[in-house]
Structure formats: structure tokens, C-alpha cells
């Protein structure tokens, strides 16, 4: 039976977490068939052994096992391996260290998208697991359903990968492959070109922050700068996304990256050439109000230690 929905899961050295992730997939209660595509990027721990054991017990699980790490060669798993293999009309995303906590998550999201053809992507609320403590998000959404478009995307940032379900017809794989700085944000901007997004205000998943996390433990500069690069890139390709909201998001990310580099410089870190150049170029062109904050912080870091 052809699946209506494909779960795409990417993993690398996540033997401590992958079983909980897969259990969250298998626990889903749906009135439609699903498939589970797991891409392992040449893990050096026991991850592949675990996912092979699951695949032997459940035919819905399809594995893509790399012998050489693809990400290190700038070959990204989703557009190059997972998406082309997905048979479903819908695709759900979740990385191998996050997990789902609502057994009806997929049912609720697909039901909404099926009933509302002008919507192409959905997200849910999620909790954060850090230092063995569960933290609840607060996006200040009082509504059970919040429509998301270019006028409120990323404000607040409630569109996390682990809760995403989208219509495959909204996906342009070839465009995604051409993007030099592609991230999940690129996908969301791409999807909203085809229709609206919906935030369903229930807790569907848990985002795990841990020492082995690829992104969660990156520096503040990296987080701001990489998001700035990828949003700036995709909005140039999709002009209708260049709203005042997205412009404000880009300014905030650029400021965040530049001030993170400034702080690093005056607190003993050696900046990379990229950090130095971005910081210098950014502060040359900012408004007077931001320049004042720049000099004020230099004074603070240099003279108020």
C-alpha cells in the first residue's frame, strides 16, 4: 500500500537517542499508511545497528546507510537522499535526537492539511529537554490555530524541524539543492510560496539539547550568521517573501551575529576572518542608534571588566 505520509529522519552518532525517536514514529495512530525513511550519515557508534534491528521488525522502516559521511562533503541528506525516496503526498521531519510525544501528532496535522487545501505546511508546539529537565515553550499564542505567512514567519520562531509536516507538492527539490546556505528555514520560505502555514497549538514533540547536538551547542555567532545567510539567500530567489517582517528578521539576525562577534573579540576569543569582516562591514552601515550601542558595548567590554 502506497503511504500517504513519509517520515524523513536524519541521524548521525545518536545511539543514545535514536530508539526513543523511532518509538515515537511507531506509536503514531493514523487512519492512513505511513513509511519511515531513516538516513544514517556513516555513524561511527552503534546507531546503524539499532536502526537495522528496528527495520528488521517493521517493513515500514526504510534505511539509507552511508559508508562515508556525506554532510562533511557538503552533500545534504534531505534533498539528495530522503526526499527523492519519499513516496508519500506528505512529508514529516524529525532528527534522530528529537522525539514525538503525541501519538496523534501526524493524524492532527494531516487532517488539517487535507481539510484546508490552501495550507501546505504545519507545525506544532514542542518542549525542550535540557540537563534532564523539560522546559515548555511559550510563543504567546493563545489561539489553538495560528496561520503563518511571510508577514509573521519567524516572529516568534515557532517553526522547528521536529514538528514539521508539509505537502510534497510544495517542495522544489532542485531549487533546494542549488542553495549554498540551505537550512530548514529555506524550506519554509519555499513552501509559503505555494500556500499558507499553520501552527497547531499542542505539544507534539521534544527538542533535545545535548553535548552531541550538531546545532544546539553552536556559538551564538554561528546561529545568527548561518540563519542570516540562508534567509538572505532564499528571499532573493523568492521575491514575494521580501516583506517588512522578513526584512526585520534579517536585520535582527545580522545585529545578533555582529554583536556576538564583538563580545567574543573583547572577551578573549580569537575571531575568524569571517567574523572580523562581517562585524566590520555590518557596523559601517547600521543606523546611528545601533552605532551608539556598538560603542557603548566596546566601552563596557574594555573598561568595565
Cβ neighbours of residue 5 closer than 8 Å, sequence gap 6 or more: 30, 32, 33, 34, 35, 88, 89, 90, 91, 92, 106, 110, 165
CATH level 2 (architecture), domain 5-209: Alpha-Beta Complex (3.90)
Contacts for 16 with CB less than 8 Å, ≥ 6 apart: 212
The pTM score is: 0.93
Q: What is the pLDDT of residues 202-249, one digit of tens each?
A: 999 999 997 765 555 568 899 999 999 999 999 999 999 999 999 999
Looking up cell 513509511 gives: 35
Q: What is the pLDDT of residue 301?
A: 81
Q: What's the pLDDT score for residue 87?
A: 98
Give the distance from CA 84 to its chain's centroid: 19
- H helices within 33-172, ranges in order? 47-57, 77, 83-85, 105-115
CA torsion, ordered 241, 246, 251, 257, to nearest 10 deg: -90
d(CA 207, CA 184): 15
Q: In this predicted structure, what is the pLDDT of residue 304?
A: 58
pLDDT value, residue 215: 53
Taking the C-alpha atoms of residue 84 and residue 90, their distance in angstroms, rounded to an integer, is: 13
Residue 136 confidence (pLDDT) = 84
Contact 176, 79 (CB under 8 A): yes
CATH 3.90.550.10 domain position(s) in the chain? 5-209
Residue 293 CB contacts under 8 Å (≥ 6 apart), including other chains? 259
Low-confidence ranges of the chain (pLDDT < 70): 212-218, 304-305
At 254, list the grid cell.
545580522
Amino acid at each position: 500500500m502506497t503511504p500517504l505520509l513519509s517520515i524523513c529522519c536524519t541521524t548521525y552518532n545518536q545511539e543514545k537517542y535514536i530508539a526513543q525517536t523511532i518509538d515515537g514514529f511507531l506509536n503514531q495512530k493514523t487512519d492512513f499508511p505511513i513509511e519511515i525513511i531513516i538516513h544514517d550519515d556513516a555513524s561511527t557508534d552503534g546507531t546503524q545497528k539499532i536502526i537495522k534491528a528496528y527495520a528488521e521488525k517493521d517493513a515500514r522502516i526504510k534505511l539509507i546507510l552511508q559508508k562515508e559521511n556525506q554532510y562533511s562533503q557538503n552533500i545534504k541528506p534531505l534533498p539528495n537522499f530522503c526526499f527523492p525516496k519519499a513516496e508519500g503526498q506528505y512529508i514529516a521531519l524529525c532528527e534522530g535526537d528529537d522525539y514525538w510525544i503525541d501519538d496523534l501528532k501526524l493524524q492532527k496535522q494531516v487532517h488539517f492539511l487535507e481539510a484546508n487545501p490552501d495550507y501546505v505546511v504545519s507545525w506544532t508546539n514542542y518542549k525542550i529537554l535540557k540537563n534532564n529537565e523539560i522546559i515548555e515553550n511559550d510563543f504567546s499564542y493563545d489561539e489553538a490555530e495560528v496561520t503563518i505567512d511571510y508577514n509573521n514567519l519567524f516572529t516568534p520562531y515557532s517553526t522547528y524541524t521536529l514538528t514539521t509536516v508539509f505537502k510534497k507538492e510544495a517542495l522544489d527539490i532542485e531549487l533546494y539543492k542549488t542553495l549554498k546556505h540551505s537550512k530548514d528555514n529555506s524550506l519554509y520560505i519555499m513552501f509559503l510560496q505555494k500556500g499558507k502555514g499553520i501552527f497547531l497549538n499542542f505539544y507534539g514533540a521534544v527538542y533535545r539539547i545535548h553535548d552531541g547536538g550538531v546545532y544546539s551547542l553552536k556559538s551564538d555567532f554561528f546561529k545568527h550568521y548561518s540563519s542570516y545567510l540562508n534567509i538572505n539567500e532564499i528571499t532573493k530567489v523568492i521575491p514575494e517573501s521580501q516583506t517588512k517582517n522578513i526584512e526585520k528578521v534579517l536585520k535582527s539576525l545580522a545585529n545578533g551575529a555582529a554583536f556576538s562577534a564583538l563580545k567574543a573579540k573583547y572577551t578573549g576569543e580569537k575571531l575568524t576572518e569571517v567574523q572580523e569582516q562581517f562585524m566590520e562591514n555590518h557596523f559601517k552601515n547600521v543606523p546611528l542608534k545601533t552605532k551608539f550601542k556598538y560603542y557603548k558595548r566596546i566601552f563596557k567590554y574594555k573598561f568595565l571588566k
